[in-house]
Structure 1
Amino acid sequence: MTAAGFEEARVSAPQDRGYRIGIDLGGTKIAAGLVDIETGAVKHFRRRPTPVAEGPAAIIRDVADIAADIIMLANAEGRIPASVGIAVPELVDLEGRVCSDWNFSIETIRTEIEALLGIPAMVDSDVRAAAHAEARFGAGIPHRSFIYVSLGTGMSYSLVINGQPWAGANGFAIHFASSSLALPKDDDTGLTVANAEDFASGKGMQLSFARRSGRSLDDGVRTLETLSTEGDPLSMRVIDEAAEVTGRLVAQMVNMIDPEAIILGGGLGCSTGRYREKLEQHMRDNIWAKRCRSIPLLLGALGEGAGVVGAALATPSGNFRQTTRVTA
């Protein structure tokens, strides 16, 4: 978009709290839309690849460009967005500051987007945004407490209590599989140290298959699922092992937190084949309390839109926890 285009978006965007822009900035794609925050409806949905190879400036420019396009479409309809919310796959503190650079270095994205568009911008972790959206408009509506588990390229989670994601003391309560764990070897010669996310995430599954077979997967985990349905023993083994690791981890969260439900999101989490079947089996087998073994294991109801809707629910403080749940 030209400078004139950005200026047009700026000058015609007074405050109206009924509509906000939601942007889900991922490692591979940017998804965005105009969100009615009273209903969760998304209009003017847009998607484009994330220009990671071009660097932070290009990423921020693309985010601003797609937001400005949506603002102008909304303005033409008399719908005036009050803010832009951006969900990112990084650590974000309670003030909305990006505090990690696992996928890309975008610490200045909030201030730069505000400068380009002239309306408030808020930032938070993508898993917390998606969990908030599911609490407000999706599978979490009936539940006072649930754990939202995002399974895709990486693995992350958010605990939701009374409709609000729990961010933790610093805003960093999103990890459950990122730390290396150590257990004694069977022959008592030392410890085995392993990182569950490196092994059981979508990326980890692809790397595991490539390491064992010497082949890459054309369409990632989708190819792995296809091969497994055709009876390929290696693909079935990779899926089964990853699902068992994840199922045991989710069971441990149930044992520790005792939520009303588990909601799975992300491309891998929302799959319905062998991976989902094995994950559920190992989760239930490893929950200690008999009463908890029947805990609902649900798929996110909002699909790809969860991150977009959740990003739009961000408040000017940058803290998703400070919003108020809308009830019937």
Structure 2
Amino acid sequence: MKIAAADIGGTHTKIGICDELGAIERFREFPTESHLGGPHVMNRLLERLAAYDEQCDAIAISTAGQVDTEKGRIVFANDNIPNYTGTAIREIVENRFGKPVKVENDVNAAALGEARFGAGEPYRDFLCLTFGTGVGGAIVMDRRIYRGADGVAGEFGHLFTHPLSETVGGRKPYYEAYASTTALVRMAKEADSECVDGKAIFDKIKRGNDALLRVVDAWIAEVAAGLASLVHIFNPSAIIVGGGVMEQDFLVRMVEERTRSLVLESFGGVRILKASLGNKAGLLGAASLYFS
């Protein structure tokens, strides 16, 4: 079975043909142009999917935002994609191509991809978190996504880790206000104005910038504090962490060491692992909705 899978992100959208072995053919990536709004994003998606129509049996879509998987529509999306809330993705795509369509939240899709083809393959139960503009989360139980009463469980980025604070960088004092890559860059800029992204931060650290190393250490403390709480709540076998900055092995090791120092000894068996599928996880996870 060949699945045309798409992964709609705030910056880029990825498309490819996926099969049950995890192979991806005709992989393409293009700017989402999310600032132009949901209708524009959908029109661009339909235009690009048309080139895959004859090669696929079905279509799977991973997307930013909270997703009603039964109806295949966006329940809520923030301002990264204006006018996206309420978008009936499945209906729009099915009407255009006349093929089965499944829609999943991007972090849930990434978790499913890691479960079937990546770092989560040895585990029946694990958590998945992505650290980027915000912090996304997914809960895998018995190799399936746990969705909660309203289908939107796993909003780990909205844990209150600093409940007495007001706002941080214009954001409410949620976990992601302190532990996202956005938070890391904000903290780093206070030490060095040239630190405009994660790459700049770690390039400078490699050249011996001790001030930025202390910033990263403080950021890791924030990341570990949230993970420790999740370990105590879920008692997972593993936590898989992804996002651009988490591509670095040394950083994941530091996060694991700090988290272990915070959890009770009886929870010490948890593994913290780097996501292994990179930017293909969402495609493979969305496609795997047809393979389970």
TM-score normalised per structure 2: 0.88
Do structure 1's residue 313 and structure 2's residue 288 form an aligned pair? yes
Shift in Å at residue 45 of structure 1? 0.6
Q: Per-residue displacement from partner, 1:41-68 (whole Å, max 9, x unpaired)?
A: 1111110111123222221112112222
Do structure 1's residue 199 and structure 2's residue 178 form an aligned pair? yes
Shift in Å at residue 307 of structure 1? 0.3
Do structure 1's residue 251 and structure 2's residue 228 form an aligned pair? yes
Q: Per-residue displacement from partner, 1:71-99 (whole Å, max 9, x unpaired)?
A: 34x2xxxxxx2222111121112423211
Name the structure 2 match of 1:11: none
| Aligned residue-pair number | 281
- Give 1:208-227 correspondences, 5 Å limit: 208-210=187-189, 212-213=190-191, 215-218=193-196, 220-227=197-204
Name the structure 2 match of 1:34: 17
Give the secondary structure class of the aligned counterpart of 1:314: helix
Q: Which one of the candidate residues 248, 251, 264 is aligned to 2:241?
A: 264
What is the CA–CA distance in structure 1 between the aligned matches of 2:230 and 2:88, rounded to whole Å? 34
Unaligned runs of 5+ in 2: 167-172
Shift in Å at residue 223 of structure 1? 1.0
What is the CA–CA distance in structure 2 between the aligned matches of 1:138 and 1:277, rounded to whole Å? 18
What is the CA–CA distance in structure 2 between the aligned matches of 1:207 and 1:170, rounded to whole Å? 33
CA gap of 1:261–1:213, structure 2 versus 1, over 3 A, is closer
Q: Which one of the candidate residues 253, 272, 281 is aligned to 1:277?
A: 253
Shift in Å at residue 180 of structure 1? 4.0
Structure 1's consecutive aligned runs of 4 or more residues displaced over 3 angstroms after TM superposition are: 179-183
Shift in Å at residue 213 of structure 1? 4.4
CA gap of 1:180–1:262, structure 2 versus 1, over 3 A, is closer
Name the structure 1 match of 2:169: none
Unaligned runs of 5+ in 1: 1-17, 75-80, 184-190, 316-322
Q: Which one of the candidate residues 91, 95, 99 is aligned to 1:115?
A: 95
What is the CA–CA distance in structure 2 between the aligned matches of 1:233 and 1:26, rounded to whole Å? 34
What amino acid does structure 2 have at the position aligned with 1:217? Answer: C
CA gap of 1:196–1:268, structure 2 versus 1, over 3 A, is same
Q: Which has the larger radius of gyration?
A: 1
Shift in Å at residue 34 of structure 1? 0.5
Do structure 1's residue 292 and structure 2's residue 292 form an aligned pair? no
Shift in Å at residue 294 of structure 1? 3.8
Name the structure 2 match of 1:51: 33
Name the structure 2 match of 1:318: none
Whether the 8 Å CA contact 2:252–2:274 is kept in 1: the answer is: no
What is the CA–CA distance in structure 2 between the aligned matches of 1:214 and 1:229, rounded to whole Å? 15
CA gap of 1:32–1:197, structure 2 versus 1, over 3 A, is same
What is the CA–CA distance in structure 1 between the aligned matches of 2:186 and 2:51, rounded to whole Å? 38
What is the CA–CA distance in structure 1 between the aligned matches of 2:121 and 2:160, rounded to whole Å? 34
Aligned alpha-carbon RMSD (Å): 2.0
What is the CA–CA distance in structure 1 between the aligned matches of 2:185 and 2:88, rounded to whole Å? 32
What is the CA–CA distance in structure 2 between the aligned matches of 1:32 and 1:88, rounded to whole Å? 12
Shift in Å at residue 197 of structure 1? 0.6
